[in-house]
Amino acid sequence: MKAVVTGGAGFIGSHLVEELLAEQFEVHIIDNLVSGKQKHVNPQAIFHLADISSEQIKPLIVDIRPDVVFHLAAQADVQRSIQNPGYDAMVNLVATIYLLEACRDAAVSKFIFASTSAVYGNLQKEQIVETDPTCPISYYGISKYSAESYIRVFHQLYGLPYTILRYGNVYGPRQTPKGEGGVVAVFMERIQKGTPLTIHGDGEQTRDFVYVKDVVRANVAAMKRGEQEIIHVSTANRTSINDLARLLTEFHEADLPIIHSLAREGDIKHSNLDNRKGLECLGWQPKYEIRAGLEETYQSYINEMYESKRDAKGT
């Protein structure tokens, strides 16, 4: 089978590519390397340097004729979406429309879309379910919800099968310190540089942190299940930013000074997603608790730091 992964040189996409290759797929990566990295392009995959927000994407998809398209490429920086909403809409909405048109023309069997808990906005609820109202408070959340709407209508008009996966705050190795939910990567970057961990606001804001390997498993499960469904990919557990920082101090041998700054515009106070539908529709549930996933992430970043230092000494 053929699979296309947009954003396959990025954080989640590169992990998904690895899993698909392990399952003997012919994998095509589409990435413009704006946020993705060349070093994360798996050599066993077929790489296409292309911008999904350009109409060149249509003939490319038609030429590949994939069985499944995983659409993970996105502008995922909430603050950048506020500063430049037009760019955000082009990457997250217009590019999705181009892809949908291409998938229709190429008779793609399944379109799997990476969405976000940001579509709910600052919904004051202990745990959010998929049927709760959506009210984004950032242009990023608006663009992702609008893309979901186009996907649903494309199915109604053309019969294109889909699954929409709304992620919690994904973390893990290869994550960049920018983008939605990137606080773990930000903290790891500061640990590598030996600078204090900065927490925006009082640090009591909470997130539903889900490990990247669990997210990959949900995407793979969505190839055969979850038809025309919106499904949370989450742990259904809350972790505060303060608790996140405390866990990292346990793993790190040196002191980690923590400082607080002003809260950021557009940030959501609390986010926790009910994940029971994932088990019901996908047969999926997360395997990693926050401590295990965070420790594996920490070790990966530390190993990368040591390798970089070793390579620098050798040159």
Any idea what the CATH number is for the domain that residue 111 is in?
Answer: 3.40.50.720
Quick one: pLDDT at residue 150? 98
Q: Which residue type is seen at 298?
A: Y
Confidence class for position 289, pLDDT limits 50, 70, 90 = very high
Quick one: pLDDT at residue 61? 97
Q: Helix, strand, or coil here: 279?
A: helix
145/96 Cα distance (integer angstroms): 11
| Number of domains making up the chain | 1
The 8-class DSSP code of residue 117 comes to G
Q: How many CB atoms lie within 10 A of CB 256?
A: 19
Q: What tokens appear for 269 in the block?
A: 């106070």
Quick one: pLDDT at residue 176? 84
What are the φ/ψ torsions at residue 231 (nearest 5 degrees)? -135, 135
- Tell me the pLDDT of the chain averaged across its residues: 92
Q: Report, as an integer, the average pLDDT of 266-281.
A: 89
Quick one: pLDDT at residue 148? 98
Residue 25, domain extent: 2-169+210-236+272-287
Look at residue 186 and tell me if it is in a domain. no
Look at residue 303 and tell me if it is in a domain. no
**Contact (CB, 8 A) for 106 and 160:** no
Q: Report, as an integer, the average pLDDT of 26-53.
A: 96
Look at residue 299 and tell me if it is in a domain. no
Where would I find the H helices in 65-106?
78-83, 85-89, 95-105
Helix or strand run (H / E) with residue 47: strand 46-49
Look at residue 221 and tell me if it is in a domain. yes
CA angle (181 as vertex; 144, 240 as ends), nearest 5: 130
Quick one: pLDDT at residue 28? 98
Where would I find the H helices in the chain?
11-22, 57-64, 78-83, 85-89, 95-105, 139-158, 183-193, 212-221, 241-251, 276-277, 290-314
Nearest to 145 by CA among 68, 221, 88, 105: 88
Look at residue 189 and tell me if it is in a domain. no
pLDDT tops 80 at residue 190: yes
Q: What tokens appear for 38 in the block?
A: 């060349």
Q: How many CB atoms lie within 10 A of CB 3?
A: 27
**Contact (CB, 8 A) for 51 and 6:** no
Q: Report, as an integer, the average pLDDT of 184-207.
A: 89
The residues assigned a catalytic role are: 140
Quick one: pLDDT at residue 311? 65
Whether the pTM exceeds 0.85: the reply is yes
Look at residue 301 and tell me if it is in a domain. no
Least confident of 58-72, 88-102, 144-158, 296-310: 296-310
Quick one: pLDDT at residue 179? 56
Look at residue 179 and tell me if it is in a domain. no
Look at residue 140 and tell me if it is in a domain. yes
